[in-house]
Structure 1
Amino acid sequence: MDPYDSDSSVEDVGEGDYTETGVLLGYATEESTDDSISHLGGWPTWLDPSTPPPGNFAKCKVCNDPMLLLLQLNGDLPEHFPHDERWLYIFGCPRKACSRKQGSIRALRGVKKHKIANSSRQRGQNNNNKAEQESMPEPPNAEEKPKPDLGAALFGARPPSSGLSSNTNPFTTTAQSGTSQASNPFAALPAPSALAAIPPQKPSFPIDSLPATFAEKARVSSPPPAPKPVAGPPLPWPSQSSFPKPYPQYNLDADYETLSRPSTPSLPDNIPTPTIEEEDSKTSGDSKDIYESSLDKSFLRFSTRLAHNPEQVLRYEFRGTPLLYATDDAVAKVFLTPSSSQHAKISTVSSKSSNNRIPRCESCGSARVFEVQLVPHAIVMLEEGRENIGLGPKDDAGMEWGTVVLGVCATNCGLDSEGVMGWREEWVGAQWEERLVPK
């Protein structure tokens, strides 16, 4: 297996013993680092403490209980968004009953724009349009627009001709605009003798019961529109007492990924191994075949790549491509494209466009791009002493994902106000651990 089978950029380093990729790896540490914002676990902090996210973002979509912070990341990108401050958050529900369910892991992007792109140009364009409208002469014989002919709308009468006043009675044969004659609206009716044979009909209801005005008639004939629901103020972010005890907090250190020459990687600690009884009941060769046949090739590629830097807890590459844990689930379909070969290929992502199928940003409609993913060693760090996080028995807790992938708005949309904090929920995809069943 080629250890450099990756869609990320790879550069040769030294004499070929190591290569460096464009992926930035994050490592959890208890020591202080230069980044005082980013951390794994712990309590979240806000870019603007006076404007926390709406409280509904704190809740698991499965059980509706508050979630715990998995990752807080300083997402400032001066080369892409020089006037924006942006922080990223990934939250997860620690309850086992919610594991493997959509909505048990959620992600947020907080952004504060200190300069709105093209705002001065747009204001200038609006001022020019306004000046042009004010300088345009009024058209000749400009009059107030005629009122709609309610009689025609209600009873099907012909609209008045251009020579008649808008208040013309549709039942009269005399024009009220100074002309002596107007077309007779009854000209197409049968001869008077035919009409005379029809006796006059009495109304079937008292005249007094008729509405007094046309407006009342219209109101009676059509039901009133249903009132629009009024959106109330957003729920406040819950107090800390509403959350379970947080995961332990670690600072984050970062370095670019380096890959060594082929070696025999060890499997991650969270992958089950055969028991002693199973090993005794089978020959070592048979056990190896059974175990390896249960593993997806994509997982072997995943674990081999991580084994080059086994202590990494996250992988970061804005507009890059994630390292997939599996190739046969819903998340994989977002990034994989079919090919003529037996193996699917990961979609490449350029700085201008993306051919992945991450759902577009719900706020502005822009495409989303990959930015960061959590990998299994983050679980090892977060779940140290997990029996003490206040969830009850130890077997009621535990994370079962293989990787968590975050896709963000490619344009970093936010509130159209300078210096005001905005919050956006972003797309997050979880690839869950394989549950291996010995054959």
Structure 2
Amino acid sequence: MDPYDSDSSGLEDEGDYTETGVLLGYASEEVLDDSVSHLGGWPTWLDDKTPPPGKFANCKVCNQPMILLLELNGDLPENFPNDERRLYIFGCPRKACNKKPGSIRALRATRKLKADSTRSKASQQDKKAEGESQRSQETQPAPPKQDIGASLFGASPLTGGLSSNVNPFSSSTSSAAPTNPFAAPSSTANTLPPTQLFKPESVPATPATLAESFADKVRVSSPPPTTKAPETDGPQLPWPAQSDFPKPYPHYYLDAEYETISRPSTPTIPENVTVEAMEEDDGSAGASADLKDTFESDLDKAFIRFSTRLSHNPEQVLRYEFRGSALLYSRTDEVGKRLHDNKGAAGPGGARVTTTSSYANRIPRCEHCGHERVFELQLVPHAISMLEEGREGLGLGAKEDTGMEWGTIILGVCGKNCGPDQLHAVGWREEWTGVQWEEAK
């Protein structure tokens, strides 16, 4: 039953096993083709001259520097062919901050290598529609018609699914997918001064002839052009020196392959054997079913399913599926209640199957551009085993040093991949992390 009980799209039946659309990451000490994606170690930036603003380095609980859990080459040529992307997840190792919101944070770095063609196409369509409207009217021409979708978001809807994510970590900006899913991205020199790197995206101004009531509605959906993004408010603190950080976790490279799930064999019953239900002392049948229900009622079904799914590939540290669904550690905590879908279709044996996923209105929208966020990846418990293996401490002292106690870290990112306006400038966005903490089972 387990192979069908999946939140992941792209299930493909191959007889003895099932392949899903989830790309699994495995930690490796061996240097791989992708030297960027790694677990632990020190972070590297898209441009060494433009690290993130310093405030992103600190835990929101203790305001002290955190250490790197994951750095991932996030290039998506099929979705964002003109962008370089990189993802980072940091965690606070201090005991007092454990299991508190803000002790784990995620960043997304984006560099625009080419102007977005969808903007120019939308502009040409607007001009064509405007010309036709003017020719059809004999009176004074009406004010130019705005494309509100392009004004607010500046891009056409994105596509998802397995077909558009064959190579989620490709370094190529073309649609052709390289063989290695963790190919290292190409580097592009950045010559812009730091003062120009965090300019917020501009929103087209409302024409003076636009009706005031309509303009008010636009302002409700889109901040005024003069409003600064949260990242640029006030002076930017520099990224702390390496000596200010605790001792990092060991560095592991990441290898990847698509998830395969073994199909359990179904025992055959000889034709001459008769199976009868066992009777209780009072003459009632179905004792085994009652025991099963009692057992499952005493345990979190989501955790059982989570553990069973991971057991098919126990060495995985990362699960990746852009615009896919997270494998929930629990359905009863805040994150589980937010993301769990009760409307999935029934599959074989009554198991719930979600073939498509949308976390719209579940994950908080992007604070910078207002676009909905989508699931991209999650870290799973074997990552803790790898990072903490053979470690005596983080150099914080016995009272401060602590092991990680999360069940999974879920990353939701801006589905539009918003970034800086200037070409070749690196922009930084803090993204949403849904942390499901370890519970006593």
Partner AA of 2:321 in structure 1: E
Q: 1:420 to 1:127 in 2, by over 3 A?
A: farther
Q: 8 Å contact 1:322–1:370 — kept in the other structure?
A: yes
Q: 1:339 to 1:354 in 2, by over 3 A?
A: closer
| Partner in structure 2 of residue 295 of structure 1 | 299
**Matched ranges for 1:5-404 at <5 A:** 5-8=5-8, 9-13=10-14, 16-118=15-117, 120=120, 231-262=233-264, 295-339=299-343, 349=356, 354-355=359-360, 357-393=362-398, 396-404=401-409
Q: 8 Å contact 1:39–1:73 — kept in the other structure?
A: yes
1:191-212 CA deviation, whole Å, 9 max, x = no partner? xxxxxxxxxxxxxxxxxxxxxx
| Partner in structure 1 of residue 432 of structure 2 | 427
Partner AA of 2:384 in structure 1: I
Partner AA of 1:80 in structure 2: N
Q: 1:3 to 1:345 in 2, by over 3 A?
A: closer
% identity of equivalent residues? 68
Q: Give how far 1:417 is off.
A: 1.2
Q: 8 Å contact 2:99–2:405 — kept in the other structure?
A: yes
Q: Give how far 1:354 is off.
A: 4.5
Q: Give how far 1:18 is off.
A: 1.0
Q: Secondary structure at the match of 2:2?
A: coil
Q: Secondary structure at the match of 1:388?
A: coil
1:196-236 CA deviation, whole Å, 9 max, x = no partner? xxxxxxxxxxxxxxxxxxxxxxxxxxxxxxxxxx9542000
Output the CA distance in 1 between the equivalents of 2:234 and 2:339.
38
TM-score between both structures, scaled by the size of structure 2: 0.64
Output the CA distance in 1 between the equivalents of 2:432 and 2:410.
8
Q: 1:344 to 1:307 in 2, by over 3 A?
A: closer
Q: 8 Å contact 1:348–1:354 — kept in the other structure?
A: no
Output the CA distance in 2 between the equivalents of 1:115 and 1:99.
42
Q: 1:397 to 1:289 in 2, by over 3 A?
A: farther
Q: Secondary structure at the match of 2:392?
A: helix
Q: 8 Å contact 2:4–2:353 — kept in the other structure?
A: no
Partner AA of 1:407 in structure 2: G
Larger radius of gyration: 1
Q: Give how far 1:347 is off.
A: 6.9
| Partner in structure 2 of residue 408 of structure 1 | 413
Partner AA of 2:63 in structure 1: N
Q: Give how far 1:384 is off.
A: 1.4
1:147-189 CA deviation, whole Å, 9 max, x = no partner? xxxxxxxxxxxxxxxxxxxxxxxxxxxxxxxxxxxxxxxxxxx
Output the CA distance in 2 between the equivalents of 1:408 and 1:341.
26
1:43-95 CA deviation, whole Å, 9 max, x = no partner? 00001111100000000000000001000000000000001000000000011
Q: 8 Å contact 1:302–1:325 — kept in the other structure?
A: yes
1:330-376 CA deviation, whole Å, 9 max, x = no partner? 111222234599999687655xx654510000010000000000000
Q: Secondary structure at the match of 1:56?
A: helix
Output the CA distance in 2 between the equivalents of 1:414 and 1:121.
20
Output the CA distance in 1 between the equivalents of 2:125 and 2:361.
36
Partner AA of 1:327 in structure 2: R
Q: Secondary structure at the match of 1:77?
A: coil
Residue-pair matches, total? 309
Q: 8 Å contact 1:27–1:311 — kept in the other structure?
A: yes
Q: 1:400 to 1:407 in 2, by over 3 A?
A: same
Q: 1:402 to 1:354 in 2, by over 3 A?
A: closer
Output the CA distance in 2 between the equivalents of 1:126 and 1:356.
30
Q: 1:127 to 1:300 in 2, by over 3 A?
A: closer
Q: 1:107 to 1:10 in 2, by over 3 A?
A: same
Q: Secondary structure at the match of 1:300?
A: helix
Q: Give how far 1:127 is off.
A: 11
The answer to whether residue 417 in structure 2 is matched with residue 418 in structure 1 is no
Output the CA distance in 2 between the equivalents of 1:374 and 1:433.
13
Q: Give how far 1:96 is off.
A: 1.6
Output the CA distance in 1 between the equivalents of 2:353 and 2:435.
17
1:318-337 CA deviation, whole Å, 9 max, x = no partner? 00001000001111122223
1:244-295 CA deviation, whole Å, 9 max, x = no partner? 00000100000000001238xxxxxxxxxxxxxxxxxxxxxxxx99997653
Output the CA distance in 1 between the equivalents of 2:344 and 2:311.
30
Root mean square deviation of aligned Cα: 3.1
Output the CA distance in 2 between the equivalents of 1:329 and 1:96.
21
Q: Secondary structure at the match of 1:313?
A: strand
Q: Secondary structure at the match of 2:429?
A: strand
Partner AA of 1:377 in structure 2: H
TM-score between both structures, scaled by the size of structure 1: 0.65
Structure 2: gaps (5+ residues):
129-231, 266-291
Partner AA of 2:367 in structure 1: E
Q: 8 Å contact 1:105–1:428 — kept in the other structure?
A: yes
Q: 8 Å contact 2:360–2:373 — kept in the other structure?
A: no
Output the CA distance in 2 between the equivalents of 1:93 and 1:261.
39
Partner AA of 1:392 in structure 2: G
Output the CA distance in 1 between the equivalents of 2:353 and 2:330.
12
